[in-house]
Amino acid sequence: MASHPPLVPDEEEAGCFPFSGAAGRGVRVAVIDSGVNPRHPHIARVAGGVCVQADGTIKEGDYIDRLGHGTAVMAAIQEKAPAADYFAVKVFETALRTKAVNLLAALDWCIEQEMDVVNLSLGTTNQAHAEGFARAVANAEETGTLLVAAREIEGQLCYPGCLPGVFSVGLDWSCPRNCFRCEHQRDGTAYYASGYPRSAPGVPRSRNVQGISFAVANMTGFVVRACEVQGRQERGLIRAALSATAARLLSKTR
């Protein structure tokens, strides 16, 4: 596994993704990030959204992205699952930083709104917040909400992505954007995906945004497709479907 982005040409943006024929139909997806620009050409549809304000309160409808990060994240997911219903949950306003309490408030909102899948291309390495995130993960499990989050940041385990019950995602620069792989570890299954977003016209890949945020986003797209195929069944069946698909993808590359 490469430790940095290799200088390779873009693979085809359009093409065949796992779970053939799926597009996320009937799946409610929340993207916790900097909001979204609904007019961006890579954004297919936005069903709504909210902003978690500095004091942790929720403001309905205020989800316009002023940083661009959330838009790129949602675009990577929508590339794979354009027919899902998307909700932007803005926790970043002027910088990619927020408080743990605000992230927990965002998760609470997603669970209360009965989201099927929540994308968290972010997290914290501060163990002091582990207990609070563990409670949020338990609440999500009770309601059937699937959390897809970063497993680690710069080699340090990241919350809530490293917790049991979360679809834990790592970064693999060598993985094409139209597939993923999984590793079964002592603390559960970890999923690995490409750290590249959708290509931006006129922007070289090496100068585009990239990293763990987009590994999570790409994996979320596959989870959403699996939810449609599996009928949004309980997470054990979704995990089994992802593992079986990853094994088939691996066999094709050998």
pLDDT 10s digits, 62-78: 999 999 999 999 999 99
Dist. CA 43–CA 39, nearest whole Å = 7
| pLDDT tens column, 131-186 | 999 999 999 999 999 999 999 888 889 999 999 999 999 999 999 999 999 998 77
pTM of the model: 0.90
Residue 12 lies in a domain: no
pLDDT at res. 15: 55
Spatial contact of 148 and 163, defined as CB atoms under 8 Å apart: no
Quote the Cα angle for 83-84-85, to 5°: 120
Residue spans of the chain under pLDDT 70: 1-15, 199-208, 252-254
Instruction: Report yes or no on 213 lying in a domain.
Output: yes
Report yes or no on 4 lying in a domain.
no
To 5 degrees, how large is the angle CA 6–CA 242–CA 146? Answer: 100
Q: For the chain, how many structural domains are there in total? A: 1
* Rounded Cα gap, residues 12 and 8, in angstroms: 12
The answer to whether the Cα torsion of 174, 253, 78, 110 is positive or negative is negative
pLDDT value, residue 234 = 76
> What are the strands of the beta sheet with 146-150, ordered from one edge?
58-60, 48-52, 85-90, 28-33, 117-120, 146-150, 167-171, 188-193, 181-185
| Nearest one of 134, 159, 138 to 149, comparing CA atoms | 159
Residue 166 lies in a domain: yes
* DSSP-assigned beta bridge partners for residue 193: 171
pLDDT of residue 201: 58
**Burial readout 87-96 (b: 16 or more C-beta within 10 A, e: otherwise):** bbbbbbbeee
Question: Is there a domain that residue 218 lies in?
Answer: yes
pLDDT confidence of residue 2: 38
Domain span at 247: 28-253
CATH number of the domain where residue 33 is located: 3.40.50.200
Cα 247 from chain centroid (whole Å): 21
Whole-number pLDDT of residue 204: 53
Is residue 176 included in any domain, yes or no?
yes
Looking at the domain assignment, is residue 21 inside a domain? no
In a domain, 247, yes or no: yes
